[in-house]
Structures are given as C-alpha cells and as structure tokens.
Amino acid sequence: MNRDASPAPAETLYGLVERVVYHTEETGYCILKVIPKGRREPVSLIGKSPRVVAGEQFEAMGHWESTRDYGQQFKADTLKLTRPDSSEGIEKYLGSGLIEGIGPAYAKRLVKKFGKAIFEIIENESSKLEGVEGIGKKRRQEIRESWMKQKSVHNIMLFLHQNGISSSRALRIHKTYGDEALSVLTTNPYRLAQDIHGIGFKTADGIAHQMGVAKDAPERIRAGILHGLETAAASGHCCLPEEALMAQTAQLLDCAPNLVSPQVAALITSSLLERHDLKGQPVLYLPYLRAAEQSIAHSIHELTALPAAYPIMDQEKMIAQAAQDTGKVLAESQQRAVKEALQNRCLIITGGPGVGKTTILRTILTILGRQKVKMTLAAPTGRAAKRLNESTGIEAKTLHRLLEYQGQGTWGRHRGKPLTGDLFVVDECSMLDAPLMAQFLSALPEGAHLLLVGDADQLPSVGPGMVLNDLITSGKVPCVQLTEIFRQAATSRIITSAHEINCGRVPDLKPQRDGDFFFLETQSPEETRDLIVQLAHQRLPAKYKFDPVQDIQVLTPMNRHLLGTRSLNEALQSALNPPSDLKYELERFQTTFRVGDKVIQTHNNYDKEVFNGDIGHIVTIETEPLKMSVRFEGDRLVEYEPGELDELQLAYALTIHKSQGSEFPCVIIPVSTQHYVLLERSLIYTAVTRARRLVILVGDPRALSLAVGRQESRKRWTGLQDLL
C-alpha cells in the first residue's frame, strides 16, 4: 500500500449478512460475508458486534481496503445489525441455529406459511405454529421459550456493549438475572459488582455514570460504602473503623467527606450496616459477618461449658495399645496432647511441620475407634480433605460437602437439621473463615465433641476472619501448642528452615549437597523469572525426575508484576506447553488455554461441584459448539462454556494464598522486593511448608530478610476475640 495515499473516504453499506465466518464474544470482533444492496456477490466485512446472526440486516460505516491475502474487504468503524425484513433474510435468520427447535427445513416452512409476520406469531400467538407440519405442542413451546431468551439476551448484549462490557459478561449477567436483567441494570447497576464474579465496582460505577447517576447521588455513595466493606472482607477483615471507612469512601468516589456520614446512617437504619464498639472505637460491619462472629462465640461457649462424654477408659493402656496398632510410639508431649483430647469436649491442636500433629491425630482416632465413637473428618478444601484421608485412612470430606451446600447461601445441614456423629475433626483450621466456621458449628449435633487441628502460624483464611488465631488468643478454648520437632523431621532443612522463619530468623542459606532447601540468588526480576522457568523445564526434571507439570509448583506472593502469577504462567506455559498445530487453543479473559494446560478453579461452583483451589488439566477443547473439558483430581471431567472461563486460571504458578491446604513434591518461590507490599513472615512460612521433598527460593536475600521480619497478615479487624 502507498503510505502517502490519503485514506479511503468513509462510505455506508446496507444489506444482508450471508454468513458469519468468525465471531468472538469477548471483544465482539467479527468477519462476515455480506451481500450489499445492489450487488449479487458476497463481500467480506470486518467489524465489531456483541452478536451476529446470518440473515440479519446490516448498516456499516467505514471504508474499503485491499489486502494481499483476502483481496478487497470492507472495514466497518460502526456496525448496526437489525432483524431481517425480507423473506430470504428471515428464513436464513431462523434457520441459523439461533432458535432451538428450528433448523433450515422448519425455517422454510414457517416463512412460507406466515411470511414476515412470523416473529409476531412466535412471540404472541405461538399456538398457530402447530399448524405447520412437524410442529407439535412440545416443539412449539421450545421455539417460543428459546425465542424469548434470545430476544432478552440480545437486548442485554446491545445495552452492555454500548456501556463497554463484553458479550461473555453479558451472558453471565443474563444467567444471573434472567429476564430481570435490564430492569436490574437500569434501576441499580451497582448490584452487578455485588452479584457477579468478574464485574467490579468501577465497571458498575461506569455504567451508572453513563446512565446519568450523579457523582453525589445517595445511591452511589451508599454503594461505595458497601463496596469498601466488601473489599475489606475480601482482604480478610470482618469490620472496619468507621472513620477509616468514611475517608476511604470519599477518596474512592471523589466526593466531599461530609456527604458520606448521612449515608452511613441511612444504611444502618435500613439494616444494611451495623455499628459496634471494638477496642474503644466505633466499627462498621456487614450484618452477615457480625452474625457469623456472634454465632461462633455462642457455639464455642456452649461446647466448652461441657466436659467430655467419651466411654470411661484406661488412657495409659489405650495409648500403649494404639502405639502397637499405628507403629508409632509417642513422646511425652504427644501423649499429653492425646490425653487432653480425651478429656475435653472441644480442643485445638496446633503446631508447625514435623511436630507430630498427624501421629497424635491417628492415635486419638485409633483409641476412639476402638471405643466405637462415631467420627467425622473434614477440611476446608478438597486437597486438604484428600491429605487428611491419606494420613488417617478414614474418609474425609470438604466442609461444604459435609454441610450439603446447595449454592446461593443454602445449606442442607444447619441448627434445624444437624449432622450426626460423636466426634468431629477439622484439619487445616487456619483456612477457616468466619462464615464457614459459624455454619459448621451451628450444624454440630447436641453432645458432639470437636477437635480442631491446624498451624496457627500459617497465613490466615482467604475469607474474612482469623478464626483459629482468635480462638487460641481468647484463651477460652483448651489448646495444645506443639513446638518439639521430632528426630526424623529435624533432618529435613525444609522443616528446620520453616521453624527458623516462623521464629523471625533467616534460615541458613548455604547450599548443602543432597539437601532439600536451597536459595539461588539472582540480580534482577528478569533473571529470577528466567531461572524459575529453566528450573521447572529442564534442571529439576533432569536431576530429580520430577514431572514438570504434575510435581513442580511455583508459588508467588501476588498476581501482578514480572514475578506475579500472570507473567510467570505465560512464561511457564510457553516452555512447558508451547503452541503447536496439533493443539487447539482458546483465548478468553486475557488468557490463552491449550490442551494439556494445568489450571485452577478460582471460586466455588456448586453446579459443577468444583471448588476454589481445585487443580486440573485441560483434556479437550471443542469448536462445535465451543467448550472446554478439564479433568480434576479423582478423575472428574468438568465442561466449561466460553463465558465460564473466567472461573479458571493457568496454574503453573499460583499465589501462596491459593496453595493453602495443598502439598507438592517440589516448590519454587520467587523472593523479590517487587513484592514488597505483600512480603511477610506467614507468607514465606506457608509457601515453604507446602513442599514435601524440595524447596527452592530464587531471588534477592534482602527480600527474604525483609519478609521474615514482618508480620502483616496478623493485622485484621475482627471482633471474635472480644465476643469470646
């Protein structure tokens, strides 16, 4: 092309969409074969539309351009599509597969019988469709239902595209609200941020602004206040000081601080907020989080008021017998822990790696199993439940499965329909957030015993609260804190280094031949990233025979920056699962997925029975219709539609938070001052304790020293300790 030539003049084309060559829902980009008015032969048109169906009428403004590969094509700057009004267009439109129950043959019959009135007939007089050969009551109902759904989705998509939201999100919005979607969007767009995964406050605020909601509108300020508390809950807080929240809201909304206080009062009056006193200052709660803390405190008071009610037994004799059964002779400190468990209605056992928590638990379960005590084992995640099952030989469930969660806040087990059993054991209790703990405790049967096992020095839960820590610190729950590292564990530098980190000391970083803990120093984030890829791709599989995808896990503090999950996943995917002509690819939500990729589910999906933190591998990507299948642990195959792929992320590199409750043969951890904001002791300690056989830290020793000296994750606003 001649660079000096003036751009082709803008032109407007009208006509019919003959065929959809390509269309992506995420951006709306499409390549169409169209027949412009006055022409007989189809031409190529490139543009953007939230959705497009063969047979539609189009109006496009743009210009013609010549390409070497495709010849002349029309590039549309704006593209409007409307329902067809010619018989030919209507027949193509109905026969495109858009409407369930109508293919090309039925489309021909329907247009022949009803002509241009067919849309009106389907919508308002669908019984007349039964006059067409082959259409009975069932097919007629199917056609009308599908038509109404398509019409609703179409309207929503047009509305959202005008407001800058992709079609994939539009499909999810329609799935959430159904036919009420447009009404929700026009009356309170801020609900999107609360109800729909992937839509944040800023997006909802943008829609509200386009719809004319004023900057100082009361509903905008109330939404901003609630958003502040929801964001705080996502960071682990159950409440926030009132003054801090008001200042934060004024800054977020760029409004005068004096406008915020009246809306706080309005939210309290309408029971959408609660004000309480904590440590001598007023704090604001979302009501469900205050209720969760109150429920936990009530249940714990009830439990600890009662003595244990196990059968009478000779404890010394039972411990000796259990040692024969398990092949593990207990040290004195471990025997004390077992006796505490047999003497208390409710007990916490806490301690780091190598202190014998598993041995103590197996001994307790062996003793009580002999006494015919009915035991139920659970953990917060699927991976943690699997590990508990493997270490005890007794079935363990996730808490959600145990409590029969049905989605949308509905639980099959609760105070009115409690669980059955005598002893309930929950492992990995540092991961328990306040709402889940409240639900679990409320579902315990009368007379139940409770044993909570966990490492209080690990990162607290991803969700709101610091339940295990608050229970221990309150002093209201009997607690055994194990500190003695046993002989076999003491030979592992993973374990000794973890304990050093936990005590606020930088572990010995000198390399040891045949060791299991190494620090590799690098000079820059780029060098750190490249070395991590080299280790995972070549060096560790060659030396230790690790499977680079199954056995090696990179754990990093955050998602952003060069050493965050996004950047590392791209680099590791390129090395471990590069593109090839034999592998299908699918790009959604700024991520390219390939067959063979390791992926993680990022939030609970109760319909599919996959949960936040479940790791799987992509086994198929199909194009007709577009869908992806992922095999999760336990050989479960789960299908995803394109609009659902924001529930998945690549998992070659995970955040340390996402790794809680999991164990991996080998863990690689970047340590960089890039992660300054998040670097702290619990984070590094949690990452190191995820490894079974090998830990390699890569990066800057100063960053490690900084992390070991800070304890930021312990600073959470919670009221449980005070309530206890």
pLDDT tens for 532-559 read 999 999 999 999 999 999 999 999 988 8
pLDDT at 92 over 50: yes
pLDDT at position 168 is 60
Tell me if the pTM is above 0.85. no
Domain 292-486 has CATH 3.40.50.720: no
pLDDT at 3 over 50: no
Q: Tell me the per-residue pLDDT of 378-430, one tens digit each, with 9 for 90 and over.
A: 999 888 898 899 999 999 999 999 999 887 788 999 999 999 999 999 999 99
Q: 3-state class of 494 per DSSP?
A: helix
- Cβ 704 vs Cβ 684: under 8 Å: yes
pLDDT at position 497 is 92
DSSP β-ladder status, 653-655 and 517-521: unpaired
- Cβ 48 vs Cβ 30: under 8 Å: yes
Q: Tell me the per-residue pLDDT of 666-679, one tens digit each, with 9 for 90 and over.
A: 999 999 987 777 78
Query: What residue type is 45 in one-letter code?
Result: L
Strand partners of residue 667 = 553, 695
pLDDT at position 631 is 94
pLDDT at position 651 is 95
pLDDT at 2 over 50: no
Overall CATH class of domain 493-709: alpha beta
Q: Tell me the per-residue pLDDT of 322-364, one tens digit each, with 9 for 90 and over.
A: 888 888 888 888 899 999 999 999 999 999 888 889 899 999 9
Output phi, psi for 506, to 5 deg.
-75, 125
pLDDT tier at 202, thresholds 50, 70, 90: confident
Query: Residue 317 contacts by C-beta under 8 Å, 6 or more apart in sequence?
Result: none
Lowest mean pLDDT among 264-268, 427-431, 453-457, 707-711: 707-711
Report the alpha-carbon distance of residue 185 to residue 199 in Å, rounded.
13
pLDDT at position 234 is 87
pLDDT at position 624 is 60
pLDDT at position 173 is 78
Q: What is the DSSP letter of 486?
A: P
Average pLDDT, integer, range 524-537: 95
Domain coordinates in residue numbering, the chain: 15-136, 167-211, 218-285, 292-486, 493-709
- For 546, 584, 649, the CA distances from 594, given in Å and listed in that order, are 22, 6, 12
pLDDT tier at 625, thresholds 50, 70, 90: low
Residue showing tokens 């508990």? 388
Q: What is the DSSP letter of 304?
A: H
pLDDT tier at 700, thresholds 50, 70, 90: very high
Average pLDDT, integer, range 566-584: 88
Q: 3-state class of 265 per DSSP?
A: helix
How many C-beta atoms surround the C-beta of residue 211 within 10 A? 13
Tokens coding 569: 């996943």
Domains 292-486 and 493-709 share a fold: yes
Give the rounded distance of the alpha carbon of 613 from its chain centre: 7
Report the alpha-carbon distance of residue 723 to residue 285 in Å, rounded.
14
Q: Tell me the per-residue pLDDT of 276-313, one tens digit each, with 9 for 90 and over.
A: 999 899 999 999 999 999 999 999 999 999 999 999 99
| DSSP calls for 654-717 | EETGGGTT--EEEEEEEE-GGGTTT--HHHHHHHHTTEEEEEEEEE-HHHHHHHHT--GGG---
pLDDT higher at 148 or 678: 148
CATH code: domain 218-285 is 1.10.10.10
